[in-house]
Amino acid sequence: MTLLLLEALGALVLLVFIVWWTMFSGRKKGELPDEAAPRDKDEAPPSRRD
């Protein structure tokens, strides 16, 4: 029973580490602010006609 709990705890720690690494390992100062985004939300993508 103790081994099962240790294994579950290890899996939880690994999951938390993977989520943390994915969220915070990118940019040094976090995400870009909204006004520095390359495209506006109102701007529609160019349409393609065949």
pLDDT tens-digit map of 21-35: 988 777 666 666 766
Q: What is the value of pTM for the model shown?
A: 0.51
pLDDT in tens, 31-50: 667 665 556 556 666 666 65
Question: Which segments of the chain does DSSP mark as H helices, in order?
Answer: 2-24
The confidence band for 6, taking pLDDT boundaries of 50, 70 and 90, is very high
Distance CA 18, CA 23 (A): 9
Query: Dihedral angle at the C-alpha atoms of 28, 29, 30, 34, nearest 10 degrees?
Result: -130
* Structure confidence at residue 23 (pLDDT): 85
